[in-house]
Amino acid sequence: MKCNVHSALIVRAQQQLYFASMRRLSLGRHLLAACAVVALACHESPPPKPLPPPDADFLLAAGDSTFWVTSRNTGVRVRGAPLVVGRWGGRFFEIYVSDDDHSFEDALFIGQRVYRRDLLTGDSLLVFADTLVPRAAKRYAEANPSARPLDPDEEGGEDASTSFTAEVDVLDLYGPYLSYEYHLDVKSPDADAWHSTRRGVIDLRTGKPATLSALFGAAEAARLETAGRTAYRITQDSIRRDPDARAQRATEMLANFRFDPASFSLADSAGEPEVDFEAPGRGEGGSGFTLPVPTLAAHAPSWWDDVRPSLPQSSPDGSVLRWWHGRYRVVARYDSAGDLAHTALGDSTAHEWDVATVGAPARSIFWLDAPPVDSTARRALLRAFDEAAQYDEGTRSTSSNHGMAMPLLRYATHGTRSTLASVPRRGTAARRQRVHATQ
């Protein structure tokens, strides 16, 4: 009996020792796992540093401003200025507009002039001068010899009985050619008010109008004019066939529009040139309006070779623009309203770095890094940006000897003369609805 009890005690003791050893083994395993976790945590690499952006150096022309973007491994630096800058023949220039005031105490006569300023020399060249307003002011002075001209700093009467005012809206720049829209508004006590709108292109080198022949050659100009007239007739027919009530009202006004081959502006698509004809309206109902003609693709002339590298490629709906340059790219994405463009810098992968939100339309990029611009040109650009920083919100002063106050250049056309749509178009500042959609 004692032997059996003793044997049972031995077995029980062995079992207790076994379970104790297993507990110690399990505890050891847990301790080892915990130590491994701690060791891994102690030796875990720090979070990766943000990828540096690619090296880049360029000017982005957007809205009524120019943005100087410089990117290095330390980040992206952006400096904006209320400048409208272009480049031709390796030289940078600025476009600005000044008021040309010939007003009297009870009569407003205000036109506008357009200047091109060489950023290297600071010299300004008058490239567009309104002649209608000065002539009207001269006739008024002859008919009213007692009328007192206003002093340069004197404000005219708000309810002037006679008003003869003109504005120039710059639409776009392509090399040495500037596209513009000219608006004239006339009010007098003895006649009905009337308005006029037309388009044109200026050769900034000479200050003379640029014809289709001068831009594209005689043969291509003849083809574009013929195609423009055909497109104009098709546009008229489509309005006549439209059952919408607004189209019916517009049909009654079609007789007030005439196709004018000299009323056009330049545009671009996929880096290639286009022509936008606008038929000016006259008389009651058409006065002050233009009838848009579908945009026509043009064969690129030789001078376009210098323009093409500055132009973007567009998505099918026009909401995204892309420029490729060496090992980096620039992307501009319009917001839903089409008023702003969010720009980013990308590398050869899908990675992007935010640059800036700019006013629409994003038009051109002038590359400063490849080929690199020289130090003289850089100093001229820096000086222009420094001077522009002194401009207030409404006026600017040129460094030339004109000594005039210049309103900032506007790229958006007037409300009743054209209607903004959701996505700005390259070359025309904004898409315009048909005339019957604005009535």
Domain ranges of the chain: 56-437
Contacts of residue 26, defined as CB under 8 A and 6 or more positions apart, other chains included, come to: none
Q: Take residue 195 and report the two structure tokens written for it.
A: 């308005």
The length of the chain, given as a count of residues: 439
Strand 91-101 vs strand 107-118: parallel, antiparallel, or unpaired?
antiparallel
- The backbone torsions φ and ψ at residue 377, rounded to the nearest 5 degrees and listed phi first, read -65, -40
Task: Kindly state the helix (H) or strand (E) to which residue 324 belongs, with its residue range.
Answer: strand 320-325
- The pLDDT of residue 79 is 95
Q: Take residue 202 and report the two structure tokens written for it.
A: 């200026």
DSSP secondary structure string for all residues of 22-68: HHHHHHHHHHHHHHHHHHHHHHPPPPPPPPPPPPEEEEEEETTEEEE
Contacts of residue 295, defined as CB under 8 A and 6 or more positions apart, other chains included, come to: 267, 269, 274, 275, 276
> What sign does the CA torsion over 295, 235, 413, 124 have?
positive
Shortest CA distance to 133 belongs to which of 225, 196, 82? 196
Q: How far is CA 388 from CA 65, 84, 347, 392, in A?
A: 10, 11, 31, 9
Separation CA 370–CA 119 (nearest Å):
20
At residue 316, the 3 state secondary structure works out as coil
Extract the residue ranges of the chain whose pLDDT is less than 50. Answer: 1-11, 13-25, 27-28, 30-40, 393-439
Torsion angle, CA of 412/80/114/321, rounded to 10 degrees?
Answer: -50
Contacts of residue 4, defined as CB under 8 A and 6 or more positions apart, other chains included, come to: none
DSSP 8-state symbol, 408 = P
- The pLDDT of residue 332 is 97
Separation CA 98–CA 111 (nearest Å):
9
- The pLDDT of residue 151 is 87
Whether the bond between 361 and the residue before it is cis, its omega within 30 degrees of 0, is yes
- The pLDDT of residue 108 is 93
Q: Indicate yes or no: pTM above 0.85.
A: no
